[in-house]
Chain A
């Protein structure tokens, strides 16, 4: 079928997606696909030119001209567009090949406008008499990868036929064949069935994961790294194919999918598989854009390789059977529209035939330059020659640095090669390359360092003897020297060794258990506390810190579990321990040692393998677990710290951490084994930034520790400014990068980030977070001495760099285990898979290796939630909720109700707190996808027996309405189903339910209207839905067969309906003439009242703009008096709307009518605009974007012309994008008209109050203030809103503005009533 020249065709389904993508991103040259073929040998140039000319003449696609018609894009076969062969002679260049390559790269990097320029170029570079490069560059709208092969092959056939004197094969069919096929498929039952298949396959809305987080929007270039798959491995892959009867390309696809899944770390991944869509098609041989991308779901069954390959191959076969259904359409069906919502992750592209054309008498080499935009990462496997398989990794540079692309190419090559030799199971195939695994597991963990095999007690005793007169402790202004500490701790140690007077308990001989050798300590910070700890260690016993602030129940459980021989506590706390354990109060402690010790007899202390302390942590089960740490472990930790940071006797170390938190261990003992001074902060001071700042200054502290959240509070204290220390250590929580930077701006000190669980003797890794550190996030760094950090996947395989995994620790610092809990110990302390005979501890933390080997902490593995493939940090949301100060307690979780996974915040409000601003507060602090969909207020959070949040007892959030009438009419019933479908509601929808209060937003509204149009063949329009958002109301509009999308554009629309006894609020449109933007505000007024929106009559094509703003205001006044004959009239307007509101108020007063509230959202008088140049068409387009809720200044990449703005609005789901072209013309016209009216307007004075909501974040460097209204109003009241002008009707600003407006309206109504009463 040849196309009739000049006939215009709509774009095929395959082209449409590309068209809009290109219009959105007109400067992106990656829509050019291209390749070159290097030819060596005696090229018959006339024959080549003739062959090319004929192939090009047969290929209509190369002659396409795109027309941007108001009805939608069209295409015409225009012979004038056909490319002519361009000859470029570079043979004179110093390096002809380099010259040609450079020229080709430039050409490929030049974006083109498909409505103006030729879609294709054919160029022949002459490098020398027997060396040529034939470059082809064709816009993706005209061709796909297979089309390019057809065209290239055709040229070769025609050339060879001439050379051999034979016949070339049949000519390429014309493009009309493809158009006809496309149209036939669009109208076919097959398409309906295909669509059903895909929608069902994706009905559970699976999450899409990839190798990198971030927004997959194609950059204008991509990184590429190509590697060769080993020939033996390729032979093995084909053998697998023969054995399993699965085509080898499907085998490779399945293996690459397994590779991606391991990197994503999810149970399932969804890959994109390019599909040529040509088998069985009349258009099979048409060079054109037909290809589709099929989403392939692959899950994690690695144990039986044949079973795995079989299951992927089956999925592929089914997908191809339904493969003509466009993936763009499926995205629309599934409502996966908008930035982060995608259908599939990485692409896996198999090209199982050698694409290199053979030219008679010539050698040829093919280089494929670009096959279209690269949104994420694409793995292409290309056959070349007969036995070579090449892997090309193309990736979006915005998401993948070049090194990561290179690493993935090598790693996937290794993976495929190893998998080809795997026997039976894929699980044995490592993810990391052997080099990566060796570096991570062994090289980075080569931390062997000699440490004396001794005890904490011995090290401290040595120091006490070395410097008896040096100050050891400072507390509340008093000093204790080392000699005194020695004497007092020795005396107490001797007493402790006697044991409890009545106790029959003996020191346990059970090496896995420390019971019986434990002494509990329940003392506040004081000299006695330190004396007690040192004494216990010297006595060869283990100390167990108890926190008196904890409830009795918890202390009792710990005492019962640990069975201490004694409790050291103050007399006033005796009641807490009565009958539970024997006590020894400081008053009863001996203060001077026995005569024997004075003679220098050493105390028989502990051995290195004895327990030094037992610290209880709350496990994930809620039951406290006693971690037993031996001397050898903690000595390693302290000696590392002393040497690594160069501590000396001159240091003064602040002790402020409660003894129950293991950070205190180094605070207590590092100074004592260094001979430095330990400065004990007063009890409670650790929470008081002022007290801490004072003590640090007064005691000349050199080293201190802060948990990051406390550090944040500390830095906020003014007296901390300019403080100077030697070093500050952080641990216990993630150290945020901005806190690091704030630290260095606020005070002078080294900052060190340490990480470690109690189970591995305080800290196992370190990172210098100095002033020059720009890391984001701040790593936890590298292992300390004699310590190993492993990041492993769920099967204990080492992860490659950059891939999240489970953090495991090994080495000398590991705890002995959990006291008396061999079961829990066995669960978390596992055999080291890389060092036979040694143990590792599973931290339960997620981490990754940076390329430099530093470890980055990613959060708790049991606190990880993913929604739409995005990692959600519930802790971060919780922190944002708590920072509002409105809430006493919060529990955040992701729950699935009605198939949709949503984040829900359960909160216990502070007494009397108004939670209306909570959502906006959270929205300002976390990414939009982390803002909870619902906030549920509770009196208390339900807890289980262990005191942890009882998730099962939390109520499902109530997204359903409060209505009661069951849908009755057929329209209501069908519409109720659509409401439920769009909003994922499980509960019934009632007639009075409001679409928006059920959780609908503008996106859901647009989707709803699409479905309404499908069901009824018409929809009353978005404006109508705003006006009638209830099920019953909207069903009535559908039944009334009102308009086709233009309702809601009339001069007066109802945005909300409410109490008829309250005077309505009239809101006046901004520059664009449309007042839907106030929909959110209208619905947020409390109590509800009717809100009418005034819209520009000139939106309709035949209505002229009035000659002045006064005339416009007078017209609007007439319109509002028609619906409401008497005052008071409440007016509100944004931008230009505010100017009109002021003029209307003047006019109403002139007519003797009562005026209530006159509010303006960031409007400024005409005087300030008069001198400015008319913004013209650009201004109108910017206004359109602003109406759609975008700040045009934040979209610098968007070309300001009608086509790309419209494409943007459509692609970004803006309701505006759905308006008929005529209406959009109207908007542009109205914007221009309003600019003119404002410039020609001179304000008269309104004698009432103007309330001005000022966009406080905007207008920097511009002289725009509400004061400029003073000459034109009786009073001006200003409300500052922390927002930009463009976002004043957005959710955050509305949350702040609506309560104020509600209050103003109430006050005004009351005043009016009072006036009336007086008048009567």
Chain B
């Protein structure tokens, strides 16, 4: 199986684990808001997140090698909902 350039990056430079606080900060930066303004159950769409920004976030969090699916994120766009997805993937990988 060929190794894609992206895979190489993941192998040689594994990124730090994604935390809930990092996600909150990343989302806030995208929305030009303070992290405290992002509540766990707030609809990120109501806060002004659009699909391209959401996709960018998902891509950024996947950089560390997590196999994240945008479509799953799209179903429930809240910080809690997304953390659930990310933490499940991280623990699956860790385990």
Contact = CB atoms under 8 A, between A and B. Distances in A.
Given A353-B59, A361-B1, A247 B52 contact: yes
A62 B52 CA distance: 27
Interface in B66-84: 69-72, 74-77
B71 to A, nearest CB: 5
Contacts of B74: 278-281, 284-285
A250 B52 contact: yes
Contact of A320 (B6, B32, B44, B51): B51
Given A279-B50, A320-B51, A350-B52, A363 B2 contact: yes
A245 B6 contact: no
Contact of A321 (B6, B45, B75): B45
Contact of B70 (A248, A320, A353, A386): A353
B54 interface: yes
A275 B1 CA distance: 34
Contact of B1 (A352, A354, A362): A362
A354 B76 CA distance: 22
A280 B30 contact: no
Given A245-B30, A250-B52, A320-B52, A285 B1 contact: no
Contacts of A169: 69, 72
B30 A285 contact: no
A249 interface: yes
Contact of A285 (B29, B44, B56, B72): B72
Q: Which of B2, B4, B7, B74 has the most CB of A within 10 A?
A: B74
A385 B55 contact: no
Interface string A246-264: 0111100000000000000
A361 B71 CA distance: 25
A1107 interface: no
Contacts of A150: 71
Given A284-B71, A386-B9, A279 B1 contact: no
B48 interface: yes
A282 interface: yes
Interface in B36-95: 43-45, 48-56, 59, 69-72, 74-77
Nearest to A360: B1
A316 interface: yes
B6 A385 contact: yes
Contacts of B70: 353
A699 interface: no
A386 B6 contact: yes
B48 A317 contact: yes
Contacts of A361: 1
A86 interface: no
A716 to B, nearest CB: 62
Given A285-B74, A285-B75, A352 B48 contact: no
A279 B30 CA distance: 16
A637 B70 CA distance: 68
Nearest to A384: B4
Given A245-B29, A321-B48, A352 B71 contact: no
B88 to A, nearest CB: 11
Nearest to A282: B75
Given A280-B43, A321-B45, A352-B56, A285 B71 contact: yes
Interface residues of B, number: 31
A1060 to B, nearest CB: 65
Contacts of A352: 52, 55-56, 59
B59 A278 contact: no
Contact of A275 (B32, B43, B51, B53): B51
Contacts of B49: 279
A682 interface: no
Contacts of A41: 1
B16 to A, nearest CB: 18
A316 B32 contact: no
A386 B32 contact: no
Nearest to B4: A385
A316 B50 contact: yes
A889 B6 CA distance: 71
Interface string A807-831: 0000000000000000000000000
A1205 B19 CA distance: 60
A387 B72 contact: no
B89 to A, nearest CB: 10
A153 B51 CA distance: 19
Contact of B45 (A245, A280, A353, A386): A280
A501 to B, nearest CB: 84
Interface string B2-37: 101111010000000000000000000110100000
A276 interface: yes
A285 B74 CA distance: 8
A281 B43 CA distance: 12
Interface string A301-332: 00000000000000011001100000000000
A1276 to B, nearest CB: 71
Contacts of A363: 1-2
Residue in B1, B9, B43, B45 whose Cβ sees the most chain A Cβ within 10 Å: B1
Interface string A32-52: 000000000100000000000
A278 B1 contact: no
A146 B56 CA distance: 16
Given A169-B69, A276-B51, A280-B45, 20 more contacts: A153-B71, A247-B56, A249-B55, A278-B74, A279-B45, A279-B50, A279-B74, A280-B74, A281-B74, A284-B74, A284-B75, A285-B74, A316-B50, A320-B51, A321-B48, A353-B59, A354-B6, A362-B1, A363-B1, A385-B6
26 contacts: A169-B69, A241-B56, A245-B29, A250-B52, A275-B51, A276-B51, A278-B51, A278-B71, A279-B51, A280-B76, A282-B75, A284-B75, A285-B72, A317-B50, A320-B50, A353-B70, A354-B6, A360-B1, A362-B1, A363-B1, A363-B2, A385-B6, A386-B5, A386-B9, A387-B5, A387-B6
Interface of A: 41, 146, 150, 153, 169, 241, 245, 247-250, 275-276, 278-282, 284-285, 316-317, 320-321, 350, 352-354, 360-363, 385-387
